[in-house]
Amino acid sequence: MQFAHRMNIPPSATVAVNNLALKKKAAGERVFNLSAGEPFVPTHSAVLDAARCALDEDKTNYTPVAGIPELRQAAVQFMNRTYGTAYTFDQTVITCGGKFGLFALFQVLLNPGDEVLIPAPYWVSYPSMVQLAGGCSVIIDTEESIGWKITPEYISSHCTEQTKLLVLNNAANPTGVLYTKEELQALLAAAKSRGLFVVSDEVYSGLVYDGKEYMSCGAFAEFHDMVIVVQSVSKHFAMTGWRAGIVFGPEEIMKKIITLQGQSTTGTSSITQWASVAAFDHAEEICSFIRDTMQHRRDVFFDALFDVFGVRFEKPVSALYGFFPMSHFGVHNMDSVTFCTDVLDTVNVAMVPGSAFGKEGYVRCSFGLVESELHDAVAALHTYFA
């Protein structure tokens, strides 16, 4: 069968590895799934109660395509209160997860041949999403030695007349990079000088550690007309399977996303939306618990790695992952896919190869699992090298 040329894209590497891990688990094997990009924390009881209430009250019909008003308003209030933005009701749309929010943005903003600047390491789905929208990804390679960050000079040197978008992932998957206010301001100014829109993926903004301050790209009034922020309930509230994302940005762009949703998903589940309202109602309590829990698990994981391997990896200040050079484990003559496949086959530890993030020679490991699983995963890794 001949498929559309746009489908010449790879499967999501993170989904693929997770599926292999789940397949092994279903076969009765014990698997240490360090590939899963989620905080393994039970969804808050108030969220579950709200979902049950929505079912009991038969709130199971179609919702407005842009999302129920209660959720849009709750999301705007949370964003403005927490991150110092100034969004209005008409500047937000509820989507089927943050992932579809990003997909929708590329669909409504890109024409064939438009270029999108993507710093690497990047979240695995950015290039494929751009390709599906007819755009071209221009990868800006960064290095661990400079903190995995881009500067305004990187933007200038990679721009052409076809460049339309810059994607910023702050806080970043897979590196845990966190940009400062001054760094973001300089990047946004550089993007504005080249007439670019900036898509700011901020779904990990609730997972910032060690007392670090988070700055949203949406908080700069002078760049409000060129910045679109993507958020999600998944990481903030441990609701990964509920699938609710939020997009904030200029009203004319939100209208186009609503049109796209009206011809595709029609919006996300009504039950999910009512549950998400409850999550925002209890946001401070839920977010602080998840953040503190993940910071503790990060410390447990990195301390265990030091105890077993004698290597003091730098702890990320945000997100859910360690992005480790394979050389620090003594692996030099093997690509990351082969290494991760062999580790999964041999000791049942699932990791994601760095090549999926545009950076060969690295692996991504999540510290979202409970502490005992993290300890046992490190012990299993040790047996691989024994």
Looking at residue 281, its pLDDT comes to 98
pLDDT tens by residue, 276-293: 999 999 999 999 999 999
CB atoms within 10 A of CB 197: 21
Looking at residue 17, its pLDDT comes to 82
pTM for this model (two decimals): 0.96
Looking at residue 20, its pLDDT comes to 84
pLDDT tens by residue, 195-209: 999 999 999 999 999
Q: What is the mean pLDDT of the chain?
A: 97
pLDDT tens by residue, 339-358: 999 999 999 999 999 999 99
Looking at residue 11, its pLDDT comes to 82
pLDDT tens by residue, 94-128: 999 999 999 999 999 999 999 999 999 999 999 99
Q: Is pLDDT at 10 greater than 90 in this prediction?
A: no
Average of per-residue pLDDT across 79-91 = 98
Asked if 94 and 279 touch (Cβ cutoff 8 Å), the reply is no
Q: What is the CATH number of domain 45-282?
A: 3.40.640.10
Q: Is pLDDT at 365 greater than 90 in this prediction?
A: yes
Q: How far is CA 81 from CA 137, 221, 224, 244, in A?
A: 34, 15, 17, 20
Asked if 121 and 142 touch (Cβ cutoff 8 Å), the reply is yes
| Percent of the residues in the chain that have a pLDDT greater than 70, as a whole number | 100
Confidence of residue 19 (pLDDT cuts 50, 70, 90): confident
Q: Is pLDDT at 338 greater than 90 in this prediction?
A: yes
CB atoms within 10 A of CB 310: 8
Q: 3.30.420.10, 2.40.50.100, 3.90.1150.10, 1.10.3720.10: which CATH number matches 5-43+285-385?
A: 3.90.1150.10
pLDDT tens by residue, 163-197: 999 999 999 999 999 999 999 999 999 999 999 99
5-43+285-385 with 45-282: one CATH topology? no
Looking at residue 326, its pLDDT comes to 96
What residue segments make up the domains of the chain, in order of their start?
Answer: 5-43+285-385, 45-282
